[in-house]
Amino acid sequence: MLRRDFMRLSALGLVSLSSLAAATGRHAHMHGSHAANTTMTRQLPEQLPLRKLPLIDNLSASDGFRGQLQTAITEVDLIGPEKTRLWLYNQQLTPLIEATEGDEISIQVDNHLHQPTTVHWHGIHLPASEDGGPHDLIQPHQQRTYQFQLKEGNAGLHWFHPHPHDYLSEQIAHSLAGAFLVHPKHDLLADLPGELLMVTDLRLDQQGQVAPHTAADWMNGREGDLLLVNAQRNPNLEVAPGTTLRLRLINACAGRYLRLAIPEHQLQLIGTDGGYLEQAVTQDELLLVPGQRCDLLVRLSEQSNTTVELLNLPYDRDWMGPEPAHYRQTETLMTLATNTSPVTPAIVLPARLRNIAPLDEPKVQRQIELSEEMPNHSEHSSEHAQDSSAMMADHNGHNGHNGHNGQVATSVSERPPIRFMLNGEIFSPGKIMFEGQVNEVEEWEVFNNSHMDHPFHVHGTHFQVVAEQDEQGQWHLPTYRAWLDTVNLKPNQRLKLRLAFAEPGEWMFHCHIIEHEEMGMMASIKINLTGETI
């Protein structure tokens, strides 16, 4: 969507620049921002000891994992004095399931929400019937049991979250998500101490409740005022001097990009969405987009009583409209400190963590275009503007309330008429865009034909990026080989992804900015057994 289209939206009364920008008086690309919701931010404590992710109980008396998840509205003492009503699994913020490759998994899900949901096991290879996509809803007050085996190749840090179309954004905004760690049967780094970090964000209104979506949320992807690690604001982790920390992170935010760095420290990337790399890759910073995971090593100072911060550096993904207050600011995710314990010696990594064989030459090639479009309102713009303004006024007078920073908030159903598309189409439940065959290598050239970044996610498999295009249009090989299920595309960028599906059935692919997915940037591929007619 071009900026002139944004201005046309505002002229139609569907996006009110006056209400969006009232707190600042300046437009986003004039470096304006929302006024920070200082009341909510100040009341959430900082520097508390890092909270471990709470474990979902394993009820199995033998090998494997058998568990129960209940999705329900849960009152949480978050900022006080009012309790914040979040939507959680088992009344827990950022819960964790742990299992091992080879385990048989059985998880019963009871939906106590007032709307349908699913559980999508993001990053895990399993049968399509157990993927938890939008075509497999658990209705309110119903239950469903997911059953699958963690076959070899599933080792790594994954996560689980809902995936019901038209309800997903509200469920994610209310914190419905958890982590899923799959251990390899034989782990070369099993003795290396590590921390699981699930990064989320939250926006609350003046009553301490989750604020409704705004038009800016739908256009850009929602970013909350409160950036949280394991449901804490800037927690503290204290270790011995010289400790090599293993930090495994999940970006579980709806739209926020994480540009990770620790000043004066290098990051060693040892794993991505699909588990270990072949060898560690040293970087000064790492971009982790919504849906992605990473496995990092960093060696802290050998000096006692030193402090460094894990930072989220600003990243401009071409925000439309007034920017959130945090957008161009450096944020502290977590504070790391050394104590007075004896110095821990440096570790030596194995020469090779794993082998990642390149996929064979593709038998199928596909073109996928991510784009945005404004509908043509030229003929009835005045009438539409009046109808839209009346709708907004009626909502705000009867059902709405002042949301973040005092701006008038839209409900989940009030979305700007922007079309986020794949190959010129918005998502239609039951419609299949492509068909393929099990274990057949495909190459997808994915083109971001839009003005903003989009994280592209594929269900049911992992892929290898085999070529990437620079700003001059030249193709380059990636600097290292990795298994990914989510990858970022900058505006006008093209990537070539190589992948194969091991399981038949319907698999989704979409932008992992939650609001863009909800507004149409999602489609399906049907994978048939070899020999079936396509």
Same domain, 182 and 199: no
- Run of H or E residues at 7: helix 3-11
Looking at the structure of the chain, the number of domains it has is 4
Same domain, 24 and 84: no
**Residue after which a domain boundary falls, among 189, 217, 242:** 189
Residues 119 and 208 in one domain: no
321 shares its domain with 368: no
Query: Is 89 domain-assigned?
Result: yes
pTM to 2 decimal places: 0.89
Task: Identify the CATH number of the domain in which residue 254 sits.
Answer: 2.60.40.420
In a domain, 48, yes or no: no
Do 27 and 69 have their domain in common? no
Q: Are residues 26 and 132 in the same domain?
A: no
Instruction: Provide φ and ψ at 94, rounded to 5°.
Output: 45, 60
Answer positive or negative: Cα dihedral of 274, 276, 277, 280.
Answer: positive
Same domain, 201 and 325: yes
164 and 199 together in one domain = no
Give domain status of residue 93, yes or no. yes
Instruction: Write the DSSP string, 76-134.
Output: E-SSSSSPEEEEEETTBSS-EEEEETT-EEEEEEEE-SSS-B--EEET----GGGS--T
From 321, 338, 355, give the residue that closes a domain.
338
Looking at the fold, whether 432 and 501 belong to one and the same domain comes out as yes
Question: What is the predicted pLDDT for the residue at 321?
Answer: 87
Output the pLDDT for position 377: 44
- Fill in the amino acid letter for 369: E
pLDDT per residue as tens, the chain (534 positions): 455 455 444 543 444 433 333 333 333 333 344 434 445 555 788 999 999 999 999 999 888 999 999 999 999 998 878 899 999 999 999 999 999 999 999 999 999 999 999 999 999 999 999 999 999 999 999 999 999 999 999 999 999 999 999 999 999 999 999 999 999 998 989 888 799 999 999 999 989 999 999 999 999 999 999 999 999 999 999 999 999 999 999 999 999 999 999 999 999 999 999 999 999 999 999 999 999 999 999 999 999 999 999 999 999 999 988 899 999 999 999 999 999 999 999 999 999 999 999 999 999 999 999 999 987 643 333 333 333 333 333 333 333 333 333 333 334 557 888 899 999 999 999 999 999 999 999 999 999 999 999 999 999 999 999 999 988 889 999 999 999 999 999 999 999 999 999 999 999 999 999 999 999 999 999 999 986 665
Q: Which residues, in sequence order, are CB contacts of 203 under 8 Å at separation 6+? A: 37, 173, 210, 211, 222, 223, 224, 225, 226, 404
Is residue 258 domain-shared with residue 294, that is, in the same domain? Answer: yes
Cβ neighbours of residue 81 closer than 8 Å, sequence gap 6 or more: none
CA atoms of 296 and 300, how far apart (whole Å): 13
Residues 216, 183 within the same domain: no
Asked if the bond preceding 241 is cis, omega within 30° of 0, the reply is no
- The answer to whether residue 422 sits within a structural domain is yes
Domain that holds residue 10: 3-33
What pLDDT does residue 471 have?
Answer: 83
CA distance linking residue 251 with residue 333, whole number of Å: 12
For 444, the 3-state DSSP assignment is strand
Residues 106 and 170 in one domain: yes
pLDDT of residue 132: 98
pLDDT for the residue numbered 240 = 96
pLDDT at 414 (0 to 100): 74
Residues 418, 1: contact at Cβ < 8 Å?
Answer: yes
Nearest alpha carbon to residue 169 among 437, 513, 420, 493 = 513
154 within a domain of the structure (yes/no)? yes
Does 144 reside within a domain?
Answer: yes
CA 393 to centroid of chain Cα atoms: 33
Q: Would you say residue 42 lies in a domain?
A: no
Residue 220: inside a domain: yes
The domain boundary, picked from 168, 189, 210, lies at 189
